Amino acid sequence: MGQLDGKVGLITGAASGIGAACARVLSREGAKLVLTDMGQAGGEQIAAETGAVFAHHDVTDEAAWPGVVATAEQRFGGLHILVANAGIGIMGAAVDMSLADLRRQMAVNVDGVFLTVKYGIPAMRRSGG
């Protein structure tokens, strides 16, 4: 028995790095998972490895969020855990970065977390979590 048996989690940015590691640990502890990422191949690989469901998802696309949350609720009966991990880093000096690059980075790193919370917390409340 794992510490998270009966719990459902949603992890953004789960195709590699910290998100993939979180998926492995939460899965090992018994959580059912919905993994999202822009990286299709990596996301599908981690989902297969952990028994999770993968959804190709841009965390900055607000219109897509209800469907992602509905996947967790319909497939696994609720949502109890949120890991707002999606993030990007556009490397370089500020004087060399375009405003479009800065806006994309801020959208993923800030707006993405906001949207994770905005749509995830109500689902967690519906699940009693």
- Helix, strand, coil percentages (3-state) for the chain, rounded to 5, are 50, 15, 35
Q: Give the three-class secondary structure for 129.
A: coil
At 104 the pLDDT is 97
Nearest partner of 14 among 73, 70, 72, 66, judged by Cα = 72
Task: Round to whole Å and give the CA distance between 39 and 9.
Answer: 19
For residue 63, give both structure tokens.
């219109």
Amino acid at 100: A
Total-model pTM: 0.96
At 51 the pLDDT is 97
Q: What is the DSSP string of 46-105?
A: HHHHHT-EEEE--TT-GGGHHHHHHHHHHHHS---EEE--------S-TTTS-HHHHHHH
At 1 the pLDDT is 72
For the chain (129 residues), the mean pLDDT of every run of 10, in chain order, is 94 98 98 98 98 98 98 97 97 93 97 98 92
At 129 the pLDDT is 59
